[in-house]
Amino acid sequence: MALLEIKKFGCPTLRKKATPVQDVTDEVRQLVADMFETMYEAEGVGLAAQQVGFTERLLVLDVRPRDPMSEPLAFINPEILWTEGECVGEEGCLSLPEIVGDVKRPAQVQVRALNENGSVFEMTLDGIAAKALQHEIDHLNGVLIIEHFNAIKRNLLRGQLRKLQREGKKQAPGLTYV
């Protein structure tokens, strides 16, 4: 396994829409393993492929720090089937360090995806798992949390975002091992 470089705001890969994974190969499984390792090292609960320089439609989640009964999950080609309810909560992002803000999302989601063995599964998530899944799917669509912030909040963060953007633009858009 290898640690991957987490791309920061300003890196063009973060704004690219992910392409579906055609076949779950050993390379895809290795990417999943590397993404879990990178996420754990960064103390995150979710990570999308764009955040480590890939444009494949895959993400990993492990919300056990906030929900000890959950388990680590990989979602390849995730598709939200339905949502229900509404919740507002503070979110942060590994690609936007030290940037946090309130985001309104559905409280419960049902998702269909492939696992790392290529098998289709469906599950319903709520709480932190639903929030994290939606956050990572936003990444797969090239959307960052700051787009969910109101104009006043974005204006207050302008200086921090400019600094991050300068750093992110210096990062190679493709795969880079740390």
Residue 35: give its domain's CATH number: 3.90.45.10
Residue 132 lies in a domain: yes
pLDDT in tens, 78-87: 999 999 999 9
Share of the chain above pLDDT 90, in %: 84
Task: Confirm whether 136 is a catalytic residue.
Answer: yes
Residue range of the domain that includes 42: 12-169
Q: How many domains in the chain?
A: 1
Q: How many Cα atoms are found within 13 Å in the side-chain-facing hemisphere of 89?
A: 16
Residue 67 lies in a domain: yes
Give the C-alpha separation, 134 to 132, whole Å: 5
Question: Does residue 176 belong to any structural domain of this protein?
Answer: no
Enumerate residues 6+ apart whose C-beta is below 8 A from 84.
106, 107, 108, 109
In tens, the pLDDT along 28-72 reads 999 999 999 999 999 999 999 999 999 999 999 999 988 888 899
∠ CA 113-114-116 to the nearest 5 degrees?
A: 140
Q: Which one of the listed residues 86, 116, 136, 147 is annotated catalytic?
A: 136
Quote the strand ranges of the chain, DSSP E: 46-48, 58-61, 73-84, 87-93, 96-105, 108-114, 120-126
7 occurs within a structural domain: no
**Other C-beta atoms lying within 10 Å of the C-beta of residue 55:** 15
The whole-model pTM stands at 0.93
Torsion sign, CA atoms 153, 132, 111, 116:
positive
In whole angstroms, give the CA distance from residue 28 to residue 25.
5
Residue-wise pLDDT tens digits, 132-153:
999 999 999 999 999 999 989 9
3 assigned to some structural domain: no
Question: Rounded CA gap, 93 and 174, in Å?
Answer: 19
pLDDT value at residue 174? 67
Mean of all residue pLDDT scores within the chain: 93
pLDDT level of residue 175 (50, 70, 90 thresholds): low
Residue 176 pLDDT exceeds 70: no
